[in-house]
Structure 1
């Protein structure tokens, strides 16, 4: 009986121990056994949502594949400004290289000035009340003398078709695959719009006219391995997708004009007076801003110009670029300074602006801002590749081209810094990393908004801090029923939402990825590698996703799906904190639409704090989780996301006890 009693007591202890362990298991899991039975797990949130498999052209690691190719276009352009008629006209010769694996019977060109006609698709799809992309409707190209031939001795063809903002040019014989070359030339002219869809145009100021020239020449559309010909029309919000090549262009203007353009000025001795050449050389060696033409010298052409009548031709060149833009005026103040690049190379930062913009609170600091922006991005991400970085004051809220911006002439202070920094940031996205802006605005606007965040916080010890420092200030949009997803094409997105869809939401997403999910070191390694890998190439969204995952070493499908290809929200919460066997159990819940890691900050009675980061995988099997915190200290408070990096839409359940949340 004693043995039986002992066995019974032993069995009872075992049963009690098993029951205790089972109770702990159920508690730690934050659920009951019955609740777990038949319950769907959350694996769907973690599974692949897009076909991101590699192929011959693009690898699964997010790099160009063995068979990757892209075509190229080199441009020689000569134009002249006719101020009497507000028109620009001249000739373009395009040398096109077909690196694709198939012969091409024709090529497509973009004729973006044709947007400025009464029956253009862009005009006819503009709402009655108008929007930012309103434009004049009395313009459009005049095209003549079209000539196209394959190789040096091919037969000439003039066959072409113009439809809205696209032009199809046919050849007498196909352009051979894998390196075949063709040339296309034509004469063109157009009336310069006053309102050029907030991207180009002309502005009357007290001392004359300012002409901002963009989308000014017929340019080749992209032929790629994803779509073939990318022939979306130019409507408004959708920007550009262009091939890379070399640009050699000459601009003839009245003698009293100053011209600034993308790339390097090739003939300073012909267009600048001796005095101006000396000042130009001085500025190229100065970290402080130097006047080339001071406010008092705007009309003093005898001092600054080499001739005093007629017309004069300015010659520019930019290599390995996807576009070129320029500005000309007889009303410019002109200043410049040296930009110091990480390699030791120096280039020129310069600004041109009218008297209306002349103020130490405004455009007198433009060159300082430009220099700081280019130097920061070059050091942090990838070195700036062009010979000049030019900021032009015009009646344009902000628009970017390789090495040259148009920013509003009334901007000042934080506004001028912000637009200058943003437009120069575009030299990395999409000028260096050549994405398709017309389809994926988030891959240039969003990425640029992200790098602007850090540049702004770094400039002059935080003189103009980033608006994205407090990400939750945008929660009213994230909870609005009228919100739209990042993956919307820009021309489809409600223009009232475009700032969030293309700029802020993807920018915030990358901040969360860097600061909360991956950490700065892993993120920066991956992001720099992405830029270097795809510099002067054409990445697609999948290339970005794959490359970031492979370099950072993290499967981020749940994040791409939830944030970039979904419209849901984040809501992590604490449901309870209780002592357990000398330690603590912290019960958590995910009430949001997709998972996120959980960063906890625990406060103790002795005044110390500890941070614990729980991986995103805690949500794979359900929407609740209990964390066992091993500590001998008394816990007084627990808070999720103490730095408030993520856009959690419910502040009320982020902390325990609830009343500690006062931020």
Structure 2
């Protein structure tokens, strides 16, 4: 029996040696994976956008400055206004015309957006009895003017009497406009009736210049619904006339507080500007108290200014409770957090905490990434599930608790993406929704010691979606993506990608340095996906082409595996394989017979020559277990091959 056992042991040892030898050879002769690691989108730069991901020495973007006078009619539910646009052409070519966005035309029965909405509807349902009426249009450059314009769905082409000169030439467009304010504004704007009056949440409320850039020329995609916005930066000087008992809040700084706020309201506003806790400007019991208003009849005109912004929005109602508190910024500057909501929404479990949420969100993002640039941050309770504009957000008036925190934090996070970093939302929603969802996770972890902590770190909770044959890639155009996939393609998957980069691939310090550099370099500019990829690669010092290709484009899956662990020449060989569609660096936790353990990290380059890798573990201890990704950060689609069981061989 002893002799037979001895020969069996010798045979088994020889088999193991041959097995490991074969694997070593396979490791060198496996298929070529260079297509997974090769150049992606190209790092080649030009004078406009550099290979290092920065704006180039001749980077340009055009500027759109607006003066708008508008009147809110609460009987007809309409807005009527006069607009003057001063357009600066910084491009290297003369412009015979400009395109303008006319999003209110989406609310017409024959709009492209309405005609491409499924019969069953979706989030982007809207009224179909609206649309712009434009009159008295004049477009001029220097001498003379032209009234020629062509309206095409949600775009309008405006022609000049002579071209706007390149490299700094200016043109002026003026017009009158009016439209019916939709009740259902595609979950982006609209109106809702409350006990004490109608709330008007006003966005996409004026004709806006389309972007002319060095990538596409004119960006003229129609407004269909899911795709959001891409806008020039400029200065805004706007006036909103509303009934005397209406409050108006908006993007930018209020210029005429002495005219529109009573002495009591101004005194309370001054208190709020110095207070860390919420101060009422209009208390719930004062909503219908006309004596608190600056006038007791007629109308009031509220005047706001906003500098270097890509848009402005406002809200108005006589039903508003109004409160505020100061925001402390890293530079020592202050801003003002504000909330307006109907009495139905009050209470500490609901909108009574809104200003607290706004203040904390703005302070968290400012301290971690980039200082908030605007004078106010206003949260508006409306019949909108969540929509963002510079300095103003619309959130649902019935939200409470964690839901209200989540939507408030998310919408105000958008002030960084895309308000400061002005990406093209209509083409690349992941560059604002995904980036913002990533920011939201850390904000929620910080707020009130994690009172409403998020779950972005639970990366494996979405594995079923990755395995779904109907899943789509992050790059899918937002207006054609399956509405069931939009939450993943625009929000969760890109946010998970950034989480992996920060927590697993690059580490916090390298990631934060690169990400902050991207924000700083592209603040108030128009980055493209390649600019982001290039900046992250260059500042982090890492060629991440394999990650950008694998995670952000297509539906590739991650599936790392431990195939076996075998003793070899007094040590152990851990046999690994990549059974998925994209590579990933490897973290292993090795457990030893003496109760100790150690963590090993293998670089992603182990997969460059093929899909198998043999790691020689140099140890004089007995290996009892090996586990892939012990902290479960990687969204690996197959959990069953991540753990090697208790060793059956001892040294």
Q: For the superposition of Structure 1 and Structure 2, which TM-score range results when normalised by the shorter chain?
A: over 0.9
Query: How many Å apart are 1:636 and its aligned residue?
Result: 2.0
Residue from 528, 542, 545 that aligns with 1:540:
528
Residue from 75, 80, 104 that aligns with 1:84:
75
Q: Secondary structure at the match of 1:240?
A: coil
Q: Answer yes or no: is 1:165 the counterpart of 2:154.
A: yes
Task: Tell me which residue corresponds to 2:4.
Answer: none
Query: How many Å apart are 1:36 and its aligned residue?
Result: 5.6
Distance 1:445 1:135 in 2: 22
Q: 1:460 and 1:32, CA in 2 relative to 1: closer, same or farther beyond 3 A?
A: same
Distance 1:94 1:24 in 2: 78
Residue from 287, 294, 298 that aligns with 1:310:
298
Q: Answer yes or no: is 1:65 the counterpart of 2:56.
A: yes
Q: Secondary structure at the match of 1:30?
A: helix
Residue from 79, 88, 97 that aligns with 2:88:
97
Q: 1:599 and 1:340, CA in 2 relative to 1: closer, same or farther beyond 3 A?
A: same
Residue from 608, 616, 638 that aligns with 1:620:
608
Query: How many Å apart are 1:220 and its aligned residue?
Result: 0.2
Task: Tell me which residue corresponds to 2:107.
Answer: 116
Q: Answer yes or no: is 1:475 the counterpart of 2:466.
A: no
Q: 1:294 and 1:26, CA in 2 relative to 1: closer, same or farther beyond 3 A?
A: same
Asked if the contact 2:624–2:646 (Cα under 8 Å) also holds between the matched residues in 1, the reply is no
Asked if the contact 1:468–1:508 (Cα under 8 Å) also holds between the matched residues in 2, the reply is yes
332-341 vs 625-634, which moves further: 625-634
Q: 1:655 and 1:147, CA in 2 relative to 1: closer, same or farther beyond 3 A?
A: same
Task: Tell me which residue corresponds to 1:44.
Answer: 35
Asked if the contact 1:31–1:624 (Cα under 8 Å) also holds between the matched residues in 2, the reply is no
Task: Tell me which residue corresponds to 2:552.
Answer: 564
Asked if the contact 1:28–1:625 (Cα under 8 Å) also holds between the matched residues in 2, the reply is no
Q: Answer yes or no: is 1:220 the counterpart of 2:209.
A: yes
Q: Answer yes or no: is 1:257 the counterpart of 2:250.
A: no
Distance 1:658 1:452 in 2: 40
Distance 2:196 2:630 in 1: 55
Distance 1:593 1:314 in 2: 57
Task: Tell me which residue corresponds to 1:485.
Answer: 473
Distance 2:506 2:19 in 1: 31
53-62 vs 522-531, which moves further: 53-62
Query: How many Å apart are 1:50 and its aligned residue?
Result: 2.1
Distance 2:391 2:403 in 1: 20
Q: Answer yes or no: is 1:368 the counterpart of 2:356.
A: yes
Distance 1:643 1:403 in 2: 38
Q: Secondary structure at the match of 2:456?
A: helix
Task: Tell me which residue corresponds to 2:268.
Answer: 279
Distance 1:658 1:72 in 2: 66
Q: Answer yes or no: is 1:143 the counterpart of 2:134.
A: yes
Any unmatched runs of 5+ in structure 1?
A: 1-19
Distance 2:397 2:21 in 1: 61
Residue from 397, 411, 416 that aligns with 1:428:
416
Distance 1:29 1:623 in 2: 15
Residue from 13, 20, 24 that aligns with 1:27:
20
Asked if the contact 1:210–1:328 (Cα under 8 Å) also holds between the matched residues in 2, the reply is yes
Task: Tell me which residue corresponds to 1:202.
Answer: 191
Q: 1:612 and 1:226, CA in 2 relative to 1: closer, same or farther beyond 3 A?
A: same
Q: How does 1:276-425 map to 2 (within 5 A)?
A: 276-302=265-291, 304-425=292-413
Distance 1:149 1:280 in 2: 42
Q: Secondary structure at the match of 1:279?
A: helix
Deviations, residues 88-147 of structure 1 (Å, cap 9, x unaligned): 001010000000000000000000000000000001000000000000000000100001
Asked if the contact 1:29–1:624 (Cα under 8 Å) also holds between the matched residues in 2, the reply is no
Deviations, residues 445-471 of structure 1 (Å, cap 9, x unaligned): 000011111111111111111121211
Deviations, residues 610-639 of structure 1 (Å, cap 9, x unaligned): 111100000011111111122233222211
Q: Secondary structure at the match of 1:67?
A: coil
Query: How many Å apart are 1:191 and its aligned residue?
Result: 0.2
Any unmatched runs of 5+ in structure 2?
A: 1-12
Q: Answer yes or no: is 1:128 the counterpart of 2:112.
A: no
Q: 1:387 and 1:582, CA in 2 relative to 1: closer, same or farther beyond 3 A?
A: same
Runs of 4+ in 1 over 6 A off after TM superposition: 23-26
Query: How many Å apart are 1:657 and its aligned residue?
Result: 1.1
Query: How many Å apart are 1:51 and its aligned residue?
Result: 3.3
Query: How many Å apart are 1:26 and its aligned residue?
Result: 7.8
Residue from 402, 421, 442 that aligns with 2:430:
442
624-633 vs 96-105, which moves further: 624-633
Q: Secondary structure at the match of 2:504?
A: helix
Distance 1:379 1:32 in 2: 52
Task: Tell me which residue corresponds to 2:176.
Answer: 187
Q: Secondary structure at the match of 2:140?
A: strand
Q: Secondary structure at the match of 1:242?
A: coil
Q: Secondary structure at the match of 2:75?
A: helix
Asked if the contact 1:349–1:371 (Cα under 8 Å) also holds between the matched residues in 2, the reply is yes
Task: Tell me which residue corresponds to 1:527.
Answer: 515
Task: Tell me which residue corresponds to 2:5.
Answer: none
What TM-score comes out, normalization by structure 2 length? 0.96
Distance 1:89 1:161 in 2: 21
Asked if the contact 1:28–1:626 (Cα under 8 Å) also holds between the matched residues in 2, the reply is no
Q: Secondary structure at the match of 2:335?
A: strand
Asked if the contact 2:239–2:302 (Cα under 8 Å) also holds between the matched residues in 1, the reply is yes
Query: How many Å apart are 1:280 and its aligned residue?
Result: 0.1
Query: How many Å apart are 1:654 and its aligned residue?
Result: 0.8
Asked if the contact 2:32–2:610 (Cα under 8 Å) also holds between the matched residues in 1, the reply is yes
Residue from 631, 639, 648 that aligns with 1:643:
631
Task: Tell me which residue corresponds to 2:8.
Answer: none
276-285 vs 464-473, which moves further: 464-473
Query: How many Å apart are 1:24 and its aligned residue?
Result: 7.1
Distance 1:605 1:283 in 2: 63
**What is the number of equivalent residue pairs in this alignment?**
635
Q: Secondary structure at the match of 1:504?
A: helix
Distance 2:373 2:279 in 1: 23
101-110 vs 600-609, which moves further: 600-609
Deviations, residues 397-430 of structure 1 (Å, cap 9, x unaligned): 0000000000000111110000000000100000
